[in-house]
A and B are shown apart, each in its own frame.
Chain A
């Protein structure tokens, strides 16, 4: 165990282990216990998205002239390319579903109550970021669906009172949906949103660990006994 002592003394790994893995959790019994896995399931799918996304970015070209061709290249030439794209595609749907289910479990268990209000608020930010990923990612293949669905999205943003037309212009990077839009969405999808969500996830997990996971609500003993 000399190696372990060496590492522990220099990194505090033992303390970290105690704080994260040896920490105790109020017991949840039966099927209810499985509802508590939805948050970590969201986290798991997020890592799948990060890995498959990084692999896709190795062959994708964010320009109107090449985006579609580069996806075709990924689908037909890259080793496991179509599988990886499939994972990223279905992963996006899974992410939305799991985050929504996680949110529902927190809602119906009222796990957002004192002292976990901030955890919930960071959760809402996470939800919006996930939607942002979905919206910006949809355009990248630059096929008919991508283009026209984004057009609708931009039009909806354009309806916003007062600032709408500016918002639409900022989204599109100009009057038209074109090269500038694609570059913008790509930057958001692979740089801005990932960095933001990484920070938000860390904050969320910190709060979860710090407050401790809420105990399953009981019908009687909960009125502040």
Chain B
């Protein structure tokens, strides 16, 4: 067989080269030892001057923390940003898998006798391009804001989160149960406000909620955008199992949800995509205040405030 022929010839030639070579000790050992000393000196210098960081103890409730991957993994995080939505999750597994598979296949794909890189343009090209892409992605990952593709995606939200920390909002507000008590717990309430409301409120808190002790922060428009995005990321709190029952008892005589219910009022199956929770709550309390021509009765007094709140949360999720 042809392949076997160059194998045999290689072994013979290698034998000749080896016999003409130099003994491992002291030649190679000397070089290896020298390199080991240099490496140890560098290592000791870094260990002595920089040491290793120890951050605050792990806090499983603080999901605002954006972890930094080791720099040699940055390329992967950067690469994942290229895949939209659902594909990203697939890429998170497929990409590393393909790299490892590629490594495994190397000796089986490149089998001829040629070894010098210049006589193997494909191998050389793949290597150089691969290395280039790796360096480029690492550099991009380093210079763009750190976002974590799986836990959190939107850089605007992250910027808001960072501002939240820098402005020391947690002095008065709680998020994930951590922070002060002077202001409301933001992850419970802020996500339910409209963007317009939040923007005006950041510009002038007293105008939107009279008597508030929150200071005027004099924020730039960009900063407000980030903070609003962060607030909206809390989303609307979830409704209780009571809510659909309350709806069935009080509303479905006139309103339909998913083809269930009466048709004298509008179908509400998709209402959450058009109205936010606070609007819906006010509407259920007293429709005439939002829409003077409405024929719907108000439920303020009929139902408790908590019950109306629950229904509004439920409706706000419909069609989202």
- Contacts from A to B (Cβ < 8 Å): 20-27, 33-34, 36-37, 40-41, 44-45, 48, 64, 68, 71-72, 75, 82-91, 93-94, 96-98, 100, 104, 107-117, 120-121, 124, 127-128, 134, 138, 141-149, 151-152, 155-157, 159-161, 164, 176-178, 212, 214-215, 217-219, 222-225
Question: CB < 8 Å: which of B21, B36, B47, B100 contacts A86?
Answer: B47
Query: Does A87 contact B58, Cβ atoms closer than 8 Å?
Result: no
A219 touches B60 (CB 8 A): no
Contacts A24-B23, A68-B58 known; A109 to B52 CB distance under 8 Å?
no
Q: A156-B92, A164-B93, A215-B17 are in contact. Are A22 and B58 (CB under 8 A)?
A: no
15 more contacts with CB within 8 A, not counting A97-B72, A108-B127, A144-B58, are A22-B25, A25-B27, A27-B21, A34-B35, A68-B57, A72-B54, A93-B70, A110-B114, A121-B104, A142-B57, A143-B55, A148-B67, A152-B150, A159-B89, A215-B14
Task: Known A24-B24, A86-B47; judge A219-B118 contact (CB<8 A).
Answer: yes
Which residues from chain A contact B36 at a C-beta distance below 8 Å? 40-41, 44
B136 CB to closest chain A CB, in angstroms?
16
Tell me which residues across on chain B come within 8 A of A108, comparing CB atoms: 117, 124, 127
Q: What's the nearest-Cβ distance from chain A to residue B53, in Å?
A: 8
Chain A residues whose CB sits within 8 angstroms of the CB of B39 once the complex forms: 41, 44-45, 94, 98
Could you count the A-B residue pairs with CB atoms below 8 Å apart for me: how many are there?
A: 238
> A115–B70 Cα gap in the complex (Å)?
35
Cβ–Cβ contact B115 & A33, under 8 A: no
How many chain-B residues does the 8 Å CB contact rule pick out? Answer: 79
Among B22, B53, B57, the most chain A Cβ lie within 10 Å of the Cβ of B57
B10 sits at the interface (CB 8 A) = yes
CB distance from A153 to the nearest CB of B (A): 9
Chain B: which residue is nearest A84 at the CB level? Answer: B47
Please judge, given known A-B contacts A24-B24, A145-B68, A155-B150, whether A177 and B60 are in contact too, CB under 8 Å: yes
Tell me which residues across on chain B come within 8 A of A82, comparing CB atoms. 51-52
Chain B 132-172 per-residue mask, 1 if CB under 8 angstroms from chain A, else 0:
00000000000000001011000000000000000000000
The stretch among B105-113, B177-185, B229-237, B292-300 that forms the contact with chain A is B105-113
Please tell me if the beta carbons of A115 and B11 are within 8 angstroms of each other in the complex: yes
Question: Which residue of chain A has its CB nearest to the CB of B8?
Answer: A224
Bound state CA distance, A176 and B9, in angstroms?
Answer: 59
Q: Smallest CB–CB gap between A68 and chain B, Å?
A: 4
> Smallest Cβ distance from A59 to chain B, in angstroms?
14
Report yes or no: B54 in contact with A68, Cβ–Cβ below 8 A: yes
Determine the distance from Cα of A85 to Cα of B72 in the docked complex, in whole angstroms: 20
Taking a contact as CB atoms under 8 Å apart, the answer to whether B29 and A113 are in contact is: no
Docked CA distance A84–B103 (Å): 34
B binding-site residues for A, Cβ under 8 Å: 5-7, 9-11, 13-14, 17-25, 27-29, 31-32, 35-36, 39-40, 42-44, 46-48, 50-60, 62, 65-70, 72, 89-90, 92-93, 100, 103-104, 106-108, 110-120, 123-124, 127, 131, 148, 150-151
Residue of B with least CB distance to A47: B36
Chain B residues with Cβ below 8 Å from A44 are 32, 35-36, 39-40
Indicate whether A24 sits within 8 Å of B18 (C-beta atoms), given known contacts A68-B57, A75-B54, A107-B127.
Answer: yes
Contacts of B27 in A (CB 8 A): 25
Query: Can you name 24 A-B residue pairings with CB atoms under 8 Å?
Result: A25-B23, A25-B27, A27-B22, A33-B31, A34-B31, A36-B28, A40-B36, A75-B51, A75-B54, A85-B52, A86-B47, A86-B48, A87-B44, A89-B47, A113-B107, A117-B108, A144-B67, A147-B59, A147-B67, A148-B66, A149-B68, A156-B92, A212-B18, A214-B115
Contacts of B10 in A (CB 8 A): 114-115, 224
Closest to A161 in B: B93
Among A25, A110, A128, A144, contact of B100 (Cβ-Cβ < 8 Å): A128
Q: Which residues of A contact B19 (CB under 8 A)?
A: 24
Does A25 lie within 8 Å of B22, measured CB to CB?
Answer: yes
Q: Are B55 and A144 in contact (CB under 8 A)?
A: yes
Contacting pair A159 B107 (CB below 8 A)? no
A83 touches B47 (CB 8 A): yes
